[in-house]
Chain A
Amino acid sequence: MAEKVLMKGNEAIAYAAVHAGCRYFFGYPITPQTEIAAYMAKNLPKAGGVFLQAESEIAAINMVYGAAGAGARVMTSSSSPGISLKQEGISYIAGADLPCVIVNIMRAGPGLGGILPSQSDYFQATKGGGHGDYHMIVLAPSTIQEMVDITVEAFDLADKYRMPVMILGDGILGQMMEPIELNIAKTPEIIAKPWATTGTQCKRKKNIINSLNTNAPELEQWNIARQKRYDEVIANEPRAKTDIEGADVIFSAFGTSARICKTAIELLAEKGIKAGLIRPITLFPFPVYAYKDVKKPIIVVEMNHGQMVEDVRLAAPNVRVGFYGRSGGMVPIPADIVDYTLKFINEGLSEIV
């Protein structure tokens, strides 16, 4: 049996990032992601890397831009309000086709909101956030082990598709502890970056990292090329964990909410109701395939006011879709999810809308 250690979610992300070859971290303090920066501050210098506390989130994401442009595996992390500040930089990173990893350990919003857990940045993460036609790959782990595996993969995906990847966790996942395997199975896939600005050494033509193009037809071509890459991502990368066989009703939830749904499923089983679960692991690309053959009603459970519901409705247009959520740092309680489910079922378990 592989040796296991006990880790906090935030710590696990940082641990996995170093394993993935990330040697540069630029960030700004915010609760509840603190342990990521603390881990990097302690461990990156030992690994021959650099941890730098920036003067702002804005500066931090632009340092990421510079380092990514110079060809490094680089990461920043923050929590909701800090991620809002990074949006300009994220748009530029996407526009210049740079790979990097951004971690958002979500807290309650909008505005200053609160430090308690939330999932209310789903729209921001999956639908843009900054200006322009761009996407990030958005990964939503739900266990600490998965945080480790997904972090290593995030760097590979970023490099492969030359785009920013966001790890979308929430305060609970960041703060909770679980055993993880000490040895990370996945070997990072390090690829050459001939486009990076590493200095020409007077041996090649110069490289330019840039998102500006004054020639509209040309800029459109850049955008089209990027959209084609997004199409590849949509074709190749959607992932979900699905357990819906024989279910009368199906929950769909990501991250912490999916874990809470599992308890609700157990409680419903005691009442003789079989409930299933579709847990998207990639939020962009949304795992549409997982909903293709669903014939039963779906209840989306989130720690927000129903942001993923739209994607579920688009993915499952022929079934009834309900929603149960809490926000502001409140976390859904399994018994309340059960109550909602019973009412939802009583309104009719018709298979088709």
Chain B
Amino acid sequence: MKLFIVIGHYGSGKSEIAANLAIREKCSVLVDLDIVNPYFRTSDVRGELAEFGIKVVASEYAGSNIDIPALPPQINAVFDQKEDAVFDVGGDDDGAVVLGRFADRFLESGYDMLMAVNMKRPSTASIERIIEMRGAIERASGLKVTRIINNTNLLGETTLTDLLAAQKMLEAADLGEVEIAGFSEILDRLPRELAARKFELKKFIKYENGIV
């Protein structure tokens, strides 16, 4: 049984990372624990993930026309049946509060908690702010961050320079292992010495069709 938790500032690309992580780690379940964000969530890509044999467990109302963040009872089954799973959590400490509800089960089973970081987001634009955010999330969840995923991007305006600058800062800070994430068009140009830490993402979460 492997349990991964993806947390971070809202807009740091958690859902994208969670979906890709579930594929990379060959998990059978992706749990959408986002009780904060009304749109653009992992539960929107149920169909695509089914092709990889990944089941999405989400609030019955996720992505619907109402904001009832009721958690589905199937979450307990993930722990009971010892499934390999990724938990996609809502942004900031506000979103991480929900983890406290399951903290005992994570502590009992063991977990890997990945913090997605986009240094182009103002609230995580410096190491100081990232540490502040990490602390707030750890306090809210009762769990500890084990790894950082550097997902520094400006969507279509992302540059390798920005990504590498962020990587350098994150590695220099004492934050633990730092993976470097992005789409292939950027990561294909990654220097060789970073290859081992490369986490290539496939695009799942899309805005509504046709919004340019």
Contact = CB atoms under 8 A, between A and B. Distances in A.
Given A31-B67, A115-B67, A262-B212, 17 more contacts: A4-B120, A4-B157, A5-B120, A6-B11, A7-B121, A35-B10, A114-B66, A115-B38, A115-B65, A171-B39, A172-B39, A172-B207, A176-B211, A263-B211, A263-B212, A331-B209, A333-B209
A32 interface: yes
Main secondary structure of the interface of B (DSSP, over half): loop
Contacts of A260: 208, 210-211
Interface stretch (A67-75, A177-185, A281-289, A290-298): A177-185
Contacts of B102: none
A38 B208 CA distance: 24
Contact of B122 (A7, A32, A113, A178): A7
Interface of B: 10-11, 36-40, 64-67, 94, 118, 120-122, 125, 153-157, 207-212
Contacts of A230: none
A104 interface: no
Contact of B155 (A32, A114, A177, A331): A177
A134 interface: no
Interface in A297-340: 328-329, 331-334
7 contacts: A7-B11, A7-B122, A8-B10, A38-B94, A179-B155, A260-B211, A263-B211
Contacts of A179: 120, 154-157
Interface of A: 4-8, 11, 15, 31-32, 34-35, 38, 108, 113-117, 171-172, 175-179, 182, 256, 259-260, 262-264, 328-329, 331-334
Contacts of A334: 209-210
A175 B156 CA distance: 17
Contacts of A333: 209-210
Contacts of B212: 259, 262-263
**Of B66, B121, B153, B211, most A-chain CB atoms within 10 Å:** B211
A85 B211 CA distance: 31
A69 B65 CA distance: 38
A178 B11 CA distance: 10
A64 B142 CA distance: 39
A113 B64 CA distance: 12
Nearest to B61: A115
A47 to B, nearest CB: 14
Contacts of B65: 108, 113-116, 328-329
B44 to A, nearest CB: 12
A260 to B, nearest CB: 5
Nearest to A337: B210
Nearest to B154: A179
A262 B212 CA distance: 7
B121 A5 contact: yes
A156 to B, nearest CB: 23
A323 B157 CA distance: 34
Contacts of A264: 210
A329 B65 CA distance: 7
Contact of B38 (A7, A31, A259, A332): A31
Nearest to A38: B94
A116 B153 CA distance: 27
A263 B207 CA distance: 13
